[in-house]
Amino acid sequence: MQPESPASGAQGHWRALEALYASAPINRLFASQLEIVDEGRSRIAFTVDERHFHAAGAAHGTIYFKMLDDAAFYAANTLISDRFLLTTSFNLHFTRPMKTGRVIAEGRWVSGRRRVLVAEAHLVDEEGEEIGRGTGTFMRSHIPLSSLPGYRI
């Protein structure tokens, strides 16, 4: 049997991160799907409907934060295969109101690989317009990814 190549090892880690996302109880509240597209890059497709609206008829900021944080987090965690990362800070900018429809959150790792990682994300609506963006810092936790039931390689 040949040893596993680094590319297939990374692919296994990325698929396990996708399974971890899908297994999180919070994601039962949102019609969303994570795709790891490359090292340091993630994409979350989700659908916004009236259940996510505040009283003025647009998506509440919680969905902006959740999807931006998740996209940036998973982009950063593609580089770390042994530990779960924790969000230590996140800056969010609302650029347009989010209405109903399909939205894509794209995450991209920016810097850092040791203790602290920085990643950014942006939200794009069905018309291709940016509706929000954010930057987060993430640090390694003491939680091994392999100890989490949703992380399956």
Distance between CA atoms of 55 and 48, rounded to whole angstroms?
15
In a domain, 1, yes or no: no
pLDDT of residue 8: 64
In a domain, 89, yes or no: yes
In a domain, 152, yes or no: no
pLDDT of residue 119: 98
Please choose, from the candidates 50, 74, 75, the residue with its C-alpha nearest in 3D space to the C-alpha of residue 63.
Answer: 50
Per the structure, the count of domains in the chain is 1
Looking up residue 15, the CATH number of its domain turns out to be: 3.10.129.10
Which range marks the domain in which residue 78 is found? 6-147
In a domain, 94, yes or no: yes
Please choose, from the candidates 153, 95, 98, 104, the residue with its C-alpha nearest in 3D space to the C-alpha of residue 128.
Answer: 104
In a domain, 153, yes or no: no
Specify the higher pLDDT residue, 77 or 5: 77
In a domain, 24, yes or no: yes
Over the stretch 98-148, which tens digit does the pLDDT of each residue have? 999 999 999 999 999 988 999 999 999 999 999 999 999 999 999 999 999
In a domain, 105, yes or no: yes
Strands 130-144 and 32-38: unpaired
∠75-18-60 over CA atoms, to 5°?
Answer: 70
The two tokens of residue 25 are 């109880």
> What's the whole-number mean pLDDT along residues 82-95?
97
